[in-house]
Structure 1
Amino acid sequence: MTIAATDRSRASYASHPSRSRGRFHGEADSAMRNAFQRDRDRIIHSAAFRRLKEKTQVFVAHEGDQYRTRLTHSLEVSQIARTMARALGADEDLAEALALAHDLGHPPFGHEGERVLAERMKAFGGFDHNAQTLRVITKLEVRYPEFEGLNLTWESLEGIVKHNGPLIGPGREVEDLAWAFTDYPHWRELELDTHAGLEAQIAAISDDIAYNNHDIDDGIRSGILEVEPLREIPLIGGIFDRVEKRWPAIDKTVKTHEVVRELIGIMVGDVLEETRRRLAVHKPDSEDALRRLPEPVVTFSEDMMETLAVLRRHLFAHMYTHYKVNRMMSQAGRVTRDLFDLYLSDPGVLPTDVQARIDGQAEETAARVICDHIAAMTDRFAMEEHRRLFTVQGYF
């Protein structure tokens, strides 16, 4: 199928910078960039975005420079998001901004780091990387004299918070929200009971497409994933067959790249076809009408979702729980746990500026400051900090 849009017209239900609901801290418009372009640029220039270069995707960052990190993953997500936004008549700049920002709240060591922080913060409001992303962009980034955070537009904030769907609804009450969501003064204005806009839905599905495919690539590259069992998954096996038929003597690495490239194209095409089908059924005529639909419009077809379920089970069984990955994650968990416990029991070992935010505060506030400090670390910095604090040689 043809993926590219036949023209560059914007859909009536897409976001538009001229119709933005604005920023919670008023600013003068830029003469050179629209509101969503400024959001994207602020995200790119943030310290949190730079730190993604050494944060785990699957393989801890120091395991090798050939594997994806959170930064390279985010760039791949943004490329897919822009392609789909263009094809669907959505705002490319907003879709790109949301794709680039979606992982800013991730701590070091991927989901293992998040698991440990959630465990340690259970008595202090919990920890959730999506909520932490909101905290990063509205409070923890310190770059501007007039306001805390990045002061992004309403559309960017809403899209970042709700890119995985409504946070309030049947079976999900306000009391269930992570602390960092409700700590944000304007959280009620983000309409947490509706779906996100078109661009946020695009960014979310682009994340799924990117990580499923680059995990295959990195898994094969590492030697943890074997090709033959992957071929048992019908869609993937068919792609391998086509690639090998066309290039019988192709190098294994190039073959993997070609298979992944084709698989990404198939997934993107599937999403576009299903999205257009749902748009034709629901016929939203505005941004708000799309947000208030009973289901998301940007998603995979049922057939593709079944295939992806098989793929994810395979990746879980043969990659995510492989003993080499388990060893990395076990070490990562110990590092995160040790740092949190030491900082909370002996805050005097923290940097002076972090100590200043703790002095005289209740334990709950101290724990949150420590959690923010650890969540901001890269894999490499966390491991070096652990070596300095827990290894005698580190002092000399």
Structure 2
Amino acid sequence: MSAARAAENPGGIPGYGDTDSERWVQEPRKSTYRSDFERDRARVLHSSALRRLGAKTQVVAPDTDDFVRTRLTHSLEVAQVGRELGRVLGCDPDVVDTACLSHDLGHPPFGHNGESALNEVAHAIGGFEGNAQTLRLLTRLEPKVLTADGHPAGLNLTRASLDAASKYPWSAVDAPVIHGHRSSKFGAYEDDLPVFAWLRDGAPGNRSCIEAQVMDLADDISYSVHDVEDAIVAGHFQLKWLDNPDHRARVVGYTKQWYLPHNDPAEIDAALARLEATKVWVREADGSRKSMAALKDMTSQLIGRFCQSALETTRARFGPDRLTRYGAELMVPDETVTEIAAMKGLATTFVISTEHRQPVYERQREVLHALVSVLNASGDRHLEPMFAADWRDANDDGARLRVVIDQVASLTDASALAMYERLVGSLPSLW
């Protein structure tokens, strides 16, 4: 922590200044035993948006079996990984925890497939992006704090926590160009730019703070490892299938196509080989308690492997001091990035991209398209009271469409299907 930063926050949270703990709407301090960042974490933990994640798809629909992870359990696991990694680096653990718990709040029903569907219907108003929707929830939609003139301010988190939750800290028009293509990911819609500019005050360009980088890595690590565990337990594949050249080629191909388009396939194959060479690699799990224990140990050891690699590399670059905000960057070796991507490629190959899933994805998109169409044509009649009020306050058709999309995005998988049946009719085939 620099001398200037220490003087800015005497006796405060180590590594953070007064500007980091500011809120968009000023509030009187209500607690003497909790820090501002602990209050942030509590607000997210008690939010309705977090509870709804329990009924939203992570990879497999939450009603398919009792073991599969939901968006909620995934978020809790990300928070556990991120909190510990951040703490060791010197980040405030509650800032990282808040960011990790928040990172998927904006995701709609049906996982990334639902996100794609809503992006299609929102094309004329700037699209739909789960991370931008997360910011909208935290700063506007989730009921907690109002401004002096009665406008919603969401959970009114501190600047440091909101910045840590910003995985893509730019608007759509300011998205960076990577390998000749402008990124389709962004963190703020046009009408949320005022609060976005406030939370990014003092940030160097499009750079993420280190707390956001820890959250992002914890997310990647968690779903790369846990999605494989879920898929194995659900009977979709066994790791010994990589012995089959055709299966292995498909995994390498999907990993390159989805996650590492600019990597040599040989690098991906080498990453798989390194993982296979670890002592914890479970080639086959038969459902016995012994094999399930081995599988759980594999997930734990791989999480440790990836975290330790980032920790050691970051410390080698920035030394032993407390690392917070923009004082450092998280350094992840290329080999570790490739290993994490290869794990993602396994789930993509044997779960997400299988042919029998494609008709289900089409029906899911059909449901969301129909809901937006019906709600947009019926005014505020079928909107929940909070969204109905937003619709009446909207200034034009584009703003009203955004409210409709806010409503649909807030639904769980089950409530989206129930609303479809109520407003449209019988569900499409496959349900």
**TM class, shorter-length:** 0.7 to 0.9
Taking the aligned partners of 2:19 and 2:346, their CA distance within structure 1 comes to 44
1:170 positional shift: 5.3
Matched, 1:390 2:391: no
1:254 positional shift: 2.4
Q: What TM-score results when the alignment is normalised by the length of structure 2?
A: 0.77
Q: Are the aligned partners of 2:91 and 2:322 in contact in 1 as well (CA < 8 Å)?
A: no
Task: Give the counterpart letter for 2:218 in structure 1.
Answer: S
- Cα gap change, 1:288 to 1:375, in 2 (>3 Å): closer
Q: Are the aligned partners of 1:80 and 1:206 in contact in 2 as well (CA < 8 Å)?
A: yes
1:54 positional shift: 0.7
Question: 1:298 maps to which residue?
Answer: 330
Matched, 1:366 2:403: no
Q: Are the aligned partners of 1:54 and 1:61 in contact in 2 as well (CA < 8 Å)?
A: yes
Which of residues 339, 342, 348 is equivalent to 1:310?
Answer: 342
1:220 positional shift: 0.7
Question: 2:196 maps to which residue?
Answer: 187
Question: 1:208 maps to which residue?
Answer: 220
Q: Are the aligned partners of 1:39 and 1:152 in contact in 2 as well (CA < 8 Å)?
A: yes
Correspondence 1:154-303 to 2 at 5 A: 154-161=159-166, 163-164=167-168, 168=174, 171=177, 180=189, 182-189=191-198, 190=200, 191=203, 193-230=205-242, 233-239=272-278, 251-280=290-319, 287=324, 289-290=326-327, 297-303=329-335
Taking the aligned partners of 1:229 and 1:86, their CA distance within structure 2 comes to 38
Q: Secondary structure at the match of 1:20?
A: helix
For these two proteins, the number of residue pairs brought into alignment is 370
Q: Which runs of 5+ in 2 are unaligned?
A: 1-12, 249-271
Q: Secondary structure at the match of 1:65?
A: coil
Relative to total residues, which structure has the larger helix share, 1 or 2?
Answer: 1
Question: 1:5 maps to which residue?
Answer: none
1:298 positional shift: 1.5
The CA deviation string for residues 296-347 of structure 1, in whole angstroms up to 9 with x for no partner, is: x214212112223333333322222013433432222121111111212333
Q: What TM-score results when the alignment is normalised by the length of structure 1?
A: 0.83
Question: 1:152 maps to which residue?
Answer: 157
- Structure with the larger RCO, 1 or 2 (CA within 8 Å, 6+ apart): 1
Taking the aligned partners of 2:240 and 2:365, their CA distance within structure 1 comes to 32
Q: Secondary structure at the match of 1:150?
A: coil
The CA deviation string for residues 70-117 of structure 1, in whole angstroms up to 9 with x for no partner, is: 110010011111211222122111111111111111111110111011
The CA deviation string for residues 330-389 of structure 1, in whole angstroms up to 9 with x for no partner, is: 222121111111212333651362445435853212211100000101111111111222
Q: Are the aligned partners of 1:358 and 1:366 in contact in 2 as well (CA < 8 Å)?
A: yes
Q: Secondary structure at the match of 2:342?
A: helix
Question: 2:113 maps to which residue?
Answer: 112
1:239 positional shift: 3.3
Q: Are the aligned partners of 1:117 and 1:371 in contact in 2 as well (CA < 8 Å)?
A: yes
1:221 positional shift: 1.4
Taking the aligned partners of 1:352 and 1:18, their CA distance within structure 2 comes to 38
RMSD: 3.2
1:289 positional shift: 4.9
Task: Give the counterpart letter for 1:79 in structure 2.
Answer: Q
Q: Which runs of 5+ in 1 are unaligned?
A: 1-12, 292-296
Q: Are the aligned partners of 2:227 and 2:344 in contact in 1 as well (CA < 8 Å)?
A: no
Q: Are the aligned partners of 1:335 and 1:383 in contact in 2 as well (CA < 8 Å)?
A: yes
- Cα gap change, 1:111 to 1:176, in 2 (>3 Å): closer
Taking the aligned partners of 1:306 and 1:175, their CA distance within structure 2 comes to 22
